[in-house]
Chains A and B, each alone.
Chain A
Amino acid sequence: MSYTRIVWAHLAKDLRLEWRSKDAINGMLFFSLLVVVLFSFAFDPTMAVSRQIAGGILWVALLFASTTALNQTWTRELRHQVLDAQRMAPSPASALFLGKVLANFLFVTMIQVVLGPLFIIFYNLHALGQGWWMAVVLPLGTLALVVNGTFFAALSLRTRNREMLLPLILFPVSIPALLAMVQSTSAILTGESDPGLWINMLAGYDIIFMTLCLLLFETILNAE
């Protein structure tokens, strides 16, 4: 299918660029590591408490880290006016967006792969609930962050103070998703409640906002 091939072209290009420059990954990785270390100074990571707050810290760390990377994600296209070439091409704008989302999704997932074990070590964690549910929550949560993040990064692309604006518009809209991520993670770690409701909500959030972003991306790409 032609659309898939175009998405793949965008994705492959982004992966290749990242492979050669390693801008996003390195920054994100170190940043989220710092957040985890700093938070363990702020909150005493003893066994009993850590389980309650670990979910929040994990997602806040990932949220901050992906914000720093998302700010860079379109700068790359802007640097040598490549975005203008993409805007003139006859391929659908939503494919460009989808490629970007998938690339960012992979980057954040890679961060999680590194961060996850560290997190377990620093906070002495072992899940009391169904640990394998994390394999569902993490991708769903990441997708929620990345879909809206990529969209709003494109939205704030041609504004003043764009690095500052992105979190200001991304965080309020993402609150329900963040709530669901933290609640489901805490439920899994403490084993006190069922994460099912929050996981469903997260999945619904992903579907709704992915659709919305795909529909509206063309509009913001040619906003003027």
Chain B
Amino acid sequence: MKRTLQFGLPIALGILAIGFYQAMYVAPVEATMGEIYRIFYYHVPSNTMGLLFPFLNFAASAVYLFTRRSNPSLAQAADALALASAEVALVFLTIGLATGMLWAKPVWGIWWTWDPRLTSCLVLWLIYVSYLLLRRFTAGGQTQTLAAVLSVFAAVDVPIVYMSIRWWRTQHPSPVFFGGPGAGIDPHMWPAVLWNLTGWFLWGVMLVTLRYQLERKRQRVERKSALNALEAEPQMTP
């Protein structure tokens, strides 16, 4: 964990600093929204990470489900990764939703609208809250399996939620990526976007790694105390 911090922290912070400079001072002012639009350099990376890490969570959960009988040690590692990525995804989604609201108030005049894109983000957020709740509510050896199953459900559900974007009218600005003609941003804004995306990506990866290592440590401690309990002098029941 120490090494992750030693290497990860300076690199991530450095790139985020460049990103901040690019976003605040270099990138041009947006034509209609003015300065407020600059929150978009944090909103977009947060949401991108919030959509990226669920994939990691799903992949790790799938690995867990496939290997839980055949290769328990790999399965344990996969489960730690699933937990770490779910928590970090939830943090990014929360930031994404919050920055979105901060932006919406001055620009749209409202904090929140039941626009499908916002709604699907919120649903994703709700699903990951329920995922973490499930992990908290279950006890013993079944937590990991049940959580992994729920993660598979989430993975199947999210595209279905997302499809509603195409079916409902939206007031959200057109997507930055793959938005089709007419969408997208000024080329001068790209450096700020890319620096911030890279910075937040590295930051997220660092968080996931730290959380993963913490969970692995917890697993080791748990296993050790279990083995200790096994070796300890049995307490005779009276």
Contact = CB atoms under 8 A, between A and B. Distances in A.
In the complex they form, do A and B come into direct contact, defined as C-beta atoms under 8 angstroms apart? yes
Contact of A220 (B140, B145, B161): B145
Interface stretch (B27-35, B48-56, B73-81, B148-156): B148-156
Given A159-B138, A161-B137, A175-B123, A219 B145 contact: yes
A173 B154 contact: yes
Main secondary structure of the interface of B (DSSP, over half): helix
A173 B153 contact: yes
Contacts of B156: 208-209, 212
Contacts of A158: 138, 142
A169 B146 CA distance: 11
B121 interface: no
A161 B161 CA distance: 28
B62 to A, nearest CB: 11
A216 B123 contact: no
Interface string A170-210: 01110110010000000000000000010001001100110
B221 interface: no
A219 B164 contact: no
A209 B150 CA distance: 12
B157 A173 contact: yes
A123 B156 CA distance: 36
A175 B142 CA distance: 26
Nearest to B136: A160
Contact of A176 (B139, B146, B161): B161
Contact of A175 (B129, B139, B161): B161
Nearest to B161: A176
Nearest to A169: B130
Given A159-B138, A165-B133, A165-B137, A172 B126 contact: yes
B206 interface: no
Given A165-B134, A208-B156, A208-B160, A216 B140 contact: no
Interface string B147-180: 0011011101100110110010000000000000
B187 interface: no
Interface in A48-105: none
Contacts of B65: 219
Given A156-B137, A160-B137, A168 B130 contact: yes
A156 B137 CA distance: 9
Interface of A: 155-156, 158-161, 165, 168-169, 171-173, 175-176, 179, 197, 201, 204-205, 208-209, 212, 216, 219-220, 223-224
| The 9 residue pairs across chains A and B that have the minimum distance between CB atoms | A223-B142, A172-B126, A223-B145, A159-B138, A172-B127, A169-B130, A176-B160, A159-B137, A224-B141
